[in-house]
Structure 1
Amino acid sequence: MEWQRDGFPAHEGTVGVVLADGSESRAVYFDMGSGGHFPTSTDWWIYDGTCGAPRAERMLAACACGWRAQVSYPIDWSQVRRREPYTYDTSPLAQDWKIHIEDVEARTVPLPAELADLLQRLDQHLDRLAHDAPLAALKAVRALETIIATTGPTAAFMTVSGAEIPWPRIAEGLGTTESEARSRLRRYEYPRRP
């Protein structure tokens, strides 16, 4: 069970579980007999106390960025169908994660309204063009790639070296994690700063 929002790949949401001692779960390893590979799982319904897994008492919204919701919810194992765990109601957790993503988005650097509108209209035009005139759409995409190839390195260099913005602020402004921000800027091959 995962939640995603376009533009925020480092913020994939999941259902986390809390064990009876208050700790968060770790991956459960399944011993399949001989061999060097042991399959693992972190799916919340695995933590039902069977097959060597610990029993979870509560569930909470979690995010790939490390965020965890402050509110947790009891798990009623009598209502969990082992073969259909997705039928269990986790909508409160999805709502908690949605609030987290809205907070992440609110802290990103805003695009000028004129540019945001232009990008939205460009997306719509390219989508139509891909269906009506795919070769023209490819030509337009190539033009965008050229713009990215020239603007990206300059913007990355000015962010890191020119403006000397600290990495935590860069990550926040882009709505991602620090490691993902570093990776994204490295793609533009800017001269690196430690």
Structure 2
Amino acid sequence: MTWTSEEYGRSHEGRVGVLLEDGTVPKPVCIDSNSGASGWEVRHWSVYDGAATYVPRPRAHVLHAECSCGWTGTRHTVDWTAAADLAFRESGLATAEQCEEDWDTHITAVGNTTVPLPAELEELLQAVAAAIEHLGRDAPTAALKAARSLELIAQRTAYWPARDARDHELENVAAALGLNLDDTRGLLARYGRWSPYG
């Protein structure tokens, strides 16, 4: 289970992280297949329940949000006493949801560090989005044409800014957009119409 936002995608992909009592990150848990011939590795927080299976599973001590950018959230200690006989995927769900809320707060903070748009342009973009959504309820084909027009506008208007941004430090451009270096490189290449591998 991972979380992403439309604006930042994989640059800020979140998940629930697990820490053991000694503060270490557990290895993935190997789940056997029904045939017993092979299995697969799972890192979902709910498998760290300390179950005495064929290969005993580690028991989570802390759940916390993690982001692909390296950020980690508040550590929430797992209350195994309150869990009683519930499966961890049920007893730990509220804590996992708190981790997602922590990640949401992180994404808001990321947005606050990016380059701001002029207020009038932000309002205009929101108005256009709302107008297309409204149009889509009555005339879906027209809404698709409008969305396609936006794609064409983006390609046309972002060409020179992407080329100009290429002259700046990639780290600074990435920070201004809230993206990682690879995603920034790909975005500039797409709008500037050059190969990201060149």
CA distance in 2, matches of 1:56, 1:6: 31
Matches within 5 A, 1:83-98: 84-85=89-90, 88-90=93-95, 91-98=97-104
Over residues 46-104 of structure 1, what are the superposed CA-to-partner deviations in whole Å (9 max), with x where a residue is unaligned?
Answer: 111223322221111111322112x3121123417327537632244234223321221
Q: Tell whether the 8 Å contact from 1:160 to 1:193 is kept in structure 2 after alignment.
A: no
Please say if 1:44 is aligned against 2:33: no
Matches within 5 A, 1:67-78: 67-69=71-73, 71-78=74-81
Count of paired positions: 188
Distance 1:93 1:84 in 2: 14
Alpha-carbon spacing, 1:183–1:123, altered in 2? closer, same or farther (3 Å) = same
Aligned to 1:133: 139
Which deviates more from structure 2 when the two are superposed, residues 23-32 or residues 143-152? 23-32
Question: Would you say the 8 A contact 2:3–2:15 is kept in 1?
Answer: yes
Letter in 2 for 1:170: V
Residue 108 (structure 2) pairs with residue 108 (structure 1): no
**Pair 190,155 (structure 1): closer, same or farther in 2 beyond 3 Å:** farther
Amino acid across the alignment from 1:60: H
Query: Using the alignment, how far apart are the partners of 2:6 and 2:125 within structure 1?
Result: 15
Q: How far did residue 126 of structure 1 move? A: 0.3
Judging changes above 3 Å, is the alpha-carbon distance between structure 1 residues 85 and 120 closer, same or farther for their aligned structure 2 residues?
Answer: same
- Relative to structure 1, the CA distance from residue 84 to residue 99 in structure 2 (aligned partners, 3 Å threshold; closer, same or farther) is closer
8 Å CA contact 2:110–2:178 kept in 1: the answer is: yes
1:13 aligns with 2:17: no
- Counterpart of 1:182, as a letter, is R
- Contact map agreement 1:16 1:25 (CA 8 A) in 2: no
Q: TM-score, normalised by structure 1?
A: 0.83
For residues 192 and 88 of structure 1, the distance between their equivalents in structure 2, rounded to whole angstroms, comes to: 41
Q: For the structure 1 residues 88 and 134, does the alpha-carbon distance in structure 2 shift closer, same or farther, using more than 3 Å as the test?
A: closer
- Percent identical pairs in the alignment equals 36
Does structure 1 residue 59 correspond to structure 2 residue 63?
Answer: yes
Structure 1 runs of 4+ with >6 Å offset: 191-194
**Match for residue 177 of structure 1 among 152, 175, 180:** 180
Question: How far did residue 144 of structure 1 move?
Answer: 1.5
CA distance in 2, matches of 1:19, 1:28: 13
